[in-house]
Amino acid sequence: MPDMFPGPLGMSLAGEALRRGLWHLALKDIRDHGIGRHRAVDDTPAGGGPGMVIRADVLAAALDSSIAPEDPRPRLLMSPRGRRFTQAEARRLAAGPGVILVCGRFEGIDERVIEARGLEEVSIGDYVLSGGEPAAQVVLDAVIRLIPGVMGGAGSDLEESHEQGLLEYPHYTRPRAWEGRTIPEILLSGNHAEIARWRRAEAERITRERRPDLPGPDRAAKKPGRDA
């Protein structure tokens, strides 16, 4: 569904970066390689069952027509059965030569083309979407914002959730008091060392309470450092 792009990626920081040439997007409609008068891209599943399956020959032709064999970009297939997409992978992709994203539809994709074209299955969560396009937009947004020059504050992303194996600490701003709730005094003290300690402790507390499955700062993966 190429008309779904750039979608939200054409707005805000990602859209401005697209207009400035900090990243670019090339779209490929697999229906251009569909079979017959109706340009069919799918067929009934072998062995029976519900739904339709994207044909291996059609998807392979679409990939081969636009991607050279030596293309170094990883080939990611948006799939609910794939490995979980993480912030560490977003950083890896942002530091690399770009990424090829394949958006599935219908019941699935013929397994043979996944194997033959080296597609890596990636999931953005434990749920099913009607197609891979929204998932691809999520992946792109996570990667694009890490490209140098896209976000304003250099280094501001390093304290965000999942960057150190932790969720982010709480944030506050004016007014000082609101509906009987006040900003923690430590944040108004001007003592930057104590503020940093408080923020770290809060990040660890929130992570323990909400996401005990996260690796935490001691086991977090090392961070690697454009074009889709």
pLDDT at site 225: 42
CATH T-level assignment (fold) for domain 156-219: Trp Operon Repressor; Chain A (1.10.1270)
Residues 193 and 65: beta-carbon distance below 8 Å:
no
User: What Cα–Cα distance (Å) separates residue 9 from each residue in 13, 77, 107, 141?
Assistant: 8, 19, 27, 7
What is the rounded distance in angstroms from the CA atom of residue 112 to the CA atom of residue 159? 42
Q: Is 108 in contact with 53 (CB distance < 8 Å)?
A: yes
Q: Which residue has the tokens 């251009």?
A: 32
Token pair 């636009």 in the structure block, residue: 66
Beta sheet of 42-43, edge-to-edge order: 42-43, 53-54, 108-109
219 token code pair: 């086991």
3-state secondary structure of 122: strand
Q: Do domains 2-144 and 156-219 have the same CATH topology?
A: no
Closest among 144, 145, 167, 165 to 156, alpha carbons compared: 145
Per-residue pLDDT 10s for the chain (228 aa) are: 999 999 999 999 999 999 999 999 999 999 999 999 999 999 999 999 999 999 999 999 999 999 998 999 999 999 999 999 999 999 999 999 999 999 988 889 999 999 999 999 999 999 999 999 999 999 999 999 999 999 975 555 555 656 678 999 999 999 999 999 999 999 999 999 999 999 999 999 999 999 999 887 654 444 444 455
Distance CA 92, CA 89 (A): 5
- Residue 163: predicted pLDDT: 67
Is 2-144 a domain of CATH 1.10.10.1400? no
| Token pair recorded at residue 26 | 């090339």
**Per-residue model confidence (pLDDT) at position 160:** 62
d(CA 138, CA 193): 35
Identify whether the C-beta of residue 99 lies closer than 8 Å to the C-beta of residue 72.
Answer: no
- The radius of gyration of the chain's CA atoms, rounded to the nearest angstrom, is 22
User: What local confidence, expressed as pLDDT, does residue 164 receive?
Assistant: 75
- The pLDDT, as a whole number, for residue 155 is 53
Domain ranges of the chain: 2-144, 156-219
